[in-house]
Amino acid sequence: MSWFDESIMARKAVAKGKPGEHHTITEAEQGIYHYVYGAFVEPKLHVQPGAVISAETHDAFEGKIKHETDKPSEILNFPYLNPQNGPIYVEGAEKGDTLAVYIREIKPRGEQPSGTTVLLPEFGGLVATGDTAMLNPPLPERVKKLYVDAEKGVKWNDRITLPYEPFIGTIGTSPEIEAISSLVPDYYGGNMDLPDVAPGAVVYLPVNTKGAYLYLGDCHAAQGDGELCGVAVEHPTVTTIQVDLIKGWTIKTPRLENEQFYMTIGSSRPLEDAARQAYRELTRWLAADFGFEELDAYMLLTQCGRMRLGNMVDPKYTMGASILKSIAGPYQG
């Protein structure tokens, strides 16, 4: 028995974590990709809880940056960035429910070098931006193309090859009444850029509107904590997820579970607010579902909580607070 059989998804979701019908969303089937998270468009797919979906994701630049001599500021057309697959309508999902998304596999696709990272003007963690507005001159633009191989890794240069550690940069449900850029992370998920959203993990997302309207895209072949320059090793993939539905379990912000830990995810500015958001939610989760008194949970996380920096570059910054399952103890929710 794997840990997954004991996951919250397997215990509480409608399909009990059992895989159902397999769907595909190829590039051709997707047709038009989306740049906002909202419910103003027709769903691309209607699925039952348990559905397994393999989606051909684009890279964040929709494959437009092909050569190291390309000039991104001339090629890219803001705000038409970070194209998303979906939306996927989950039958039975209603406001107040939670979507469980088990990430089964991410495989690179596309012509080599299929990986792309770039320096963009006014974007990144160590440059002046539209928000952290400065008068300093900008850095030069720069494009780096990389060979990405699931086994051999991501080739940086002759000496350095990084392991292929793919994850989904952007995934989430639709807000209730808004349609928000896929560049933004928030309470419904979105552009969290958190490396733990990787194969083997279950992401829990709040359902805000009937059918949930699940989107995903923006897979990264490798990324450090914070996604420092704003652009990870972006690459096109075939990403396979299994979607399930937990009725009547209401969460405020995304959560995550894998073999090792439970995590809560906060997205906000300044960065300490993302951290506070994540840690408060984890504190309250321990109190709600693991038998801790709230202030005891607060004191315990002080001694053993872990914090992962997702991004420090997007419109909101993202952090994930976690606790080892061995410490949290059995789930009682």
Q: Which of 14, 53, 127, 171 binds a second copy (CB under 8 A)?
A: 127
Contacts of 118 (CB under 8 A, 6+ apart): 61, 65, 72, 141, 142, 143, 144, 231
Q: If binding is defined by CB under 8 A, does position 159 make contact with a second copy?
A: yes
Give the range of 3-11, 59-67, 91-99, 174-182 binding a second copy by CB under 8 A: 174-182
Contact pattern from residue 86 through residue 125 relative to a second copy, giving x for each residue in contact according to CB under 8 A and a dash for the rest: -------------------------------x-x----xx
Q: Which of 1, 31, 133, 151 binds a second copy (CB under 8 A)?
A: 133
Q: If binding is defined by CB under 8 A, does position 286 make contact with a second copy?
A: no
The conformation of residue 247, written as its DSSP 8-state character, comes to T
Site for a second copy in 15-44 (CB under 8 A): 35-36, 38, 40
Q: If binding is defined by CB under 8 A, does position 283 make contact with a second copy?
A: yes
Q: Which of 45, 180, 207, 246 binds a second copy (CB under 8 A)?
A: 180
Distance CA 146, CA 158 (A): 12
- Kindly report whether the peptide bond that precedes residue 19 is cis, defined as omega within 30 degrees of 0: no
Give the range of 45-53, 62-70, 171-179, 235-243 binding a second copy by CB under 8 A: 171-179
Closest residue by Cα to residue 253 from 211, 282, 226, 287: 282
DSSP string, 8-62: HHHHHSTTTT----EEEE-HHHH-S-BSEESSSS--SEEE-TT-EEEEEEPPTTT
Q: If binding is defined by CB under 8 A, does position 210 make contact with a second copy?
A: no
> In the numeric block, which tokens belong to residue 204?
């829990």
- Rounded to a whole number of angstroms, the minimum distance from the CB of residue 282 to a second copy is 9
